Amino acid sequence: MIRESLTPRSNWQAQFESLGFSYHSIDGLYWDERYAYRFTAAQIDTLEQASLDLHQMALQAAEHVIRTERLEQFAIPKAFWPLVEQSWRDREFSLYGRFDLSWNGEGPPKLLEYNADTPTGLVESSVAQWYWLQDVYPHADQFNSLHEKLIEQWKSYSAKGMLHFACAGGNEEDEGNLSYLRDTAIQAGLATKQCAIEELGWDSSNEEFVDNADVRIDNLFKLYPWEWLCREEFAPQLLTQTKQPAQRMRIIEPAWKMLLSNKAILPVLWELFPGHPNLLPAYYDAWKISGNFVKKPLYSREGENISVYADGNVIHTPGEYGAEGYIYQAYAPQPKFDDGITPAYTSIGAWIVGDEAAGIGIREDETLITKNTSRFIPHYFVD
């Protein structure tokens, strides 16, 4: 795993905007092709296998939590426990997820967390870096089958009626990711409509969710976290649907993904698979951790409210999370690459679509904690 310095292409902004990647320079610098990461084929095989293993362990962890009735540890509102349990028993359709890994190319990749509900970074991981590869390294390869696998996974979804796509309005990055996912669904042959989640409503007379044109919503892909949905004004209406399962709105990602997207799943994974090479020790109690560790809120996004306790020093990020509690995970620092110009700590996002590994996206930050402002760097591999 080598970080290379490169000269950016002269036309990359115009190319990406034509592809729908309009937020390429959000916060000043997001997509960064001054650098690229080079892997060997063997290293890609290691990342692929780690993704597959972590996916299977996560599914077993979800089963364990449901079977042993441990949802309280996840700070999920109690009224939603039956919905989570039912969605798991029904094995409701899941599209995708992203494992965030710490790895320098040697030894086993380590799981930092699992973005199982609303992972973003799709356009850059799937489309943008593939076009970059064709221009810069046309004879090399890339761990990237996201587009094809998303389409195939959508084909396995037995949609009755239209599939609505919704996210918070006015967020360019979320809207870009949502539009891309909608495009893959269209290519799979599904009828779709995109709207802001604020435009969805409840038709009390017919007891159904409707869009801004009063069209019934049979299927909803929501790029909007379940922990927010559970606390919205219309949360009770989500629960009333459990009384008539055949009539209820189907939601993607399903309610059982609330378990895997929650940091509380990390101690469960370590409990079930202690010593697994792709896992870090993780507990609900800080005193059980020996040595350096990271304190993480059960619900946290974009690197907020993370505290790193390492070698007598503390690094903390501000934010609005933590009220529901924390978990404590052994510290595995992201590898640091430094060319003397832009030092970077690197995190690898490994994608899973359905039950298959589908590629990686790489983020860099000048600090140890990856945030929403962290840069995206393309990659390639050679035999």
Taking CA atoms, 165 is separated from 120, 196, 242, in Å, by 14, 8, 21
Q: What's the angle, vertex CA 208, arms to CA 181 and CA 217, rounded to 5?
A: 20
Q: Confidence class of residue 322 from pLDDT cuts 50, 70 and 90?
A: confident
Cβ atoms 119, 365 nearer than 8 A: no
Cβ atoms 297, 263 nearer than 8 A: yes
Q: What's the angle, vertex CA 190, arms to CA 152 and CA 59, rounded to 5?
A: 45
- pLDDT attached to residue 177: 96
Cβ atoms 182, 211 nearer than 8 A: no
Summarised one tens digit per residue, pLDDT across range 107-127 is 999 999 999 999 999 999 999
- Say if 269 falls within a structural domain: no
Check pLDDT > 90 for residue 301: no
Quote the tokens at residue 3.
């970080």
> What number is the average pLDDT over the span 195-204?
93
Whose tokens are 């994974």? That residue is: 269
Whose tokens are 């055949």? That residue is: 246
Q: Is the pTM of this model over 0.85?
A: yes
- Say if 362 falls within a structural domain: yes
- pLDDT attached to residue 53: 98
Cβ atoms 285, 295 nearer than 8 A: no
Q: Confidence class of residue 206 from pLDDT cuts 50, 70 and 90?
A: confident
- pLDDT attached to residue 317: 86
Instruction: Give the range of the structural domain holding residue 81, as residue numbers without chain letter.
Output: 2-142+257-262+336-382
**Residues 331, 10: Cα–Cα separation, whole Å:** 40
- Say if 319 falls within a structural domain: no
**Residues 383, 381: Cα–Cα separation, whole Å:** 7
**Count of the separate structural domains present in the chain:** 1
- Say if 114 falls within a structural domain: yes
Indicate the Cα dihedral angle 67, 72, 76, 79, nearest 10°. 80
- Say if 303 falls within a structural domain: no
- Say if 155 falls within a structural domain: no
- Say if 170 falls within a structural domain: no
**Residues 138, 231: Cα–Cα separation, whole Å:** 48
> What number is the average pLDDT over the span 72-98?
95
Of the ranges 13-27, 224-238, 257-271, 331-345, the best mean pLDDT one: 257-271
Q: Confidence class of residue 85 from pLDDT cuts 50, 70 and 90?
A: very high
Check pLDDT > 80 for residue 366: yes
Summarised one tens digit per residue, pLDDT across range 145-181 is 999 999 999 999 987 889 999 999 999 999 999 999 9
**Residues 366, 204: Cα–Cα separation, whole Å:** 50
- Say if 100 falls within a structural domain: yes
